[in-house]
Chain A
Amino acid sequence: MSSRRSRVSEEEINRLVSKLQSLLPETRQRGAGRASAAKLLKETCNYIRSLNRDVDDLSDRLSAIMATMDSSSAEAEMVRSLLRS
């Protein structure tokens, strides 16, 4: 079986990783020049972690809001939010 497996060369890796740069907010704003691949990977990890933290905080906040709302206004408000959007 002839396999034409594409070996992922270093340039290929660097090219792929630099594409990440546009996703990260910091590098987007600062318009930084090409950062090293390792730094970009690290920034990506940190960014994902911070996004996860945000989602967790929002989840806690939402559960707290729902807990304090009485059922009738909760239902009403949820329906209203749905209708609004």
Chain B
Amino acid sequence: MVRSGPCDGEGTADGCRWIEIWVFVDRFDRFGVAGDWNLAGYLKGFWWEGSSLRLGMTISNGDGDSAAKDGGRERKRKRRAEPSLVKWKTEGEQKTYSSKLIEALRRVRGSSAAGAASATTDHSRGRAVREAADRALAAAARGRTRWSRAILCGRTLKRRVLPRAGRPKPVGRARAAERSKPPALKTKARVLGRLVPGCRKLPLPSLLEEVSDYIAALEMQVRAMSAIAEALSAVGGAPSAALAEGPM
């Protein structure tokens, strides 16, 4: 039975409202933990008509919140995907990423050498490397964050997937909540949302979560790529360019 529960995410995207759908599980249920709210997924493309909820489409991401304090039965419970920032700092993660990146670089190198080498400019080669690095980074995130999913979908998920459902009638309360933010913060938050892939219309709490993970991931990316560049240029005999200043 679905009731609208503690919804801490809502926003608009392409004319659709979206909210997090929480399911209150009254009794033992495959969705989640009995007697508690569980995150069932994200509902997009809905709108209100009078008092009834109309659905345009659903994008589910059914992570159940395992907030069970009691032992309960041991079963497969998906944890709420709260990205842990620590993993981006571990050496293991960086090594895994470096290997994946080197594999990708070999492929890039192979394709550009075999193909029309004259057609590829320095800029396009650099872009190819950047894209490969980003895709490897997004893959390392294992789909737990919005920005990583957006990168893997070619950053056009919102445009492609979400249809322009009917103009939603914003609930009065939602409007008031939006206004509670001072406009200065809102514009800056919007700029921030545009900087992170796939987070354009995210509400602030979720946005900040994505931002922290994105920053940690980018820092790791810089560390890994610097190390690779150093290793390659030391041997290749290529003139080592000025060290790209890493944030760490």
Residues on A close to B: CB < 8 A?
Answer: 1-10, 12-13, 16-17, 19-20, 23, 25, 37-38, 41-42, 44-45, 47-52, 54-69, 71, 73-75, 77-78, 80-82, 84-85
- Contact between chains at B98 and A81 (CB < 8 Å): yes
Residue among B3, B226, B235 with the highest chain A CB neighbour number at 10 A: B235
Number of A-B contacts (CB under 8 A): 188
- Contact between chains at B188 and A65 (CB < 8 Å): no
Contacts of A37 in B (CB 8 A): 185
- Contact between chains at B8 and A45 (CB < 8 Å): no
Number of B interface residues at 8 Å Cβ cutoff, please give it: 72
- Contact between chains at B99 and A82 (CB < 8 Å): yes
B173 to nearest A CB, angstroms? 7
What CA separation (Å) do A47 and B196 show in the bound complex? 12
Contacts of B214 in A (CB 8 A): 48
Given contacts A6-B7, A20-B211, A65-B232, contact A50 B113 (CB under 8 A): no
Q: Which of B6, B95, B195 contacts A4 (CB 8 A)?
A: B6
Given contacts A20-B208, A85-B95, contact A1 B53 (CB under 8 A): yes
What CA separation (Å) do A45 and B247 show in the bound complex? 14
Contacts of B174 in A (CB 8 A): 5
Residues on B close to A: CB < 8 A?
Answer: 3-8, 10, 19, 53, 95, 98-99, 102, 105-106, 108-109, 113, 122, 125-130, 133-134, 171, 173-174, 176-177, 180-182, 184-185, 188-189, 191-192, 195-196, 203-205, 208, 211-212, 214-216, 218-219, 221-222, 225-226, 228-229, 231-233, 235-236, 238, 241, 244-248
A11 to nearest B CB, angstroms? 10
What CA separation (Å) do A60 and B233 show in the bound complex? 13
- Contact between chains at A48 and B196 (CB < 8 Å): yes
Given contacts A51-B215, A73-B235, contact A59 B98 (CB under 8 A): no
What CA separation (Å) do A84 and B184 show in the bound complex? 49
Question: Which B residue sits closest to A73, measured CB to CB?
Answer: B236
Q: Which 7 A-B pairs have the closest CB atoms?
A: A60-B126, A63-B125, A41-B188, A59-B130, A59-B129, A58-B225, A3-B4
A82 to nearest B CB, angstroms? 6
Q: Which of A2, A45, A75 contacts B4 (CB 8 A)?
A: A2
Question: Which A residue sits closest to B219, measured CB to CB?
Answer: A51
A29 to nearest B CB, angstroms? 11
Question: Which B residue sits closest to A14, measured CB to CB?
Answer: B185
A-B contacts, 5 of them at CB < 8 A, read A4-B7, A8-B181, A10-B181, A74-B109, A75-B106
- Contact between chains at B7 and A44 (CB < 8 Å): no
What CA separation (Å) do A10 and B177 show in the bound complex? 10
- Contact between chains at A6 and B184 (CB < 8 Å): no
Contacts of B108 in A (CB 8 A): 63, 66
Q: Which of B3, B133, B241 contacts A59 (CB 8 A)?
A: B133
Given contacts A13-B185, A65-B233, contact A57 B244 (CB under 8 A): yes
Question: Which A residue sits closest to B48, measured CB to CB?
Answer: A1
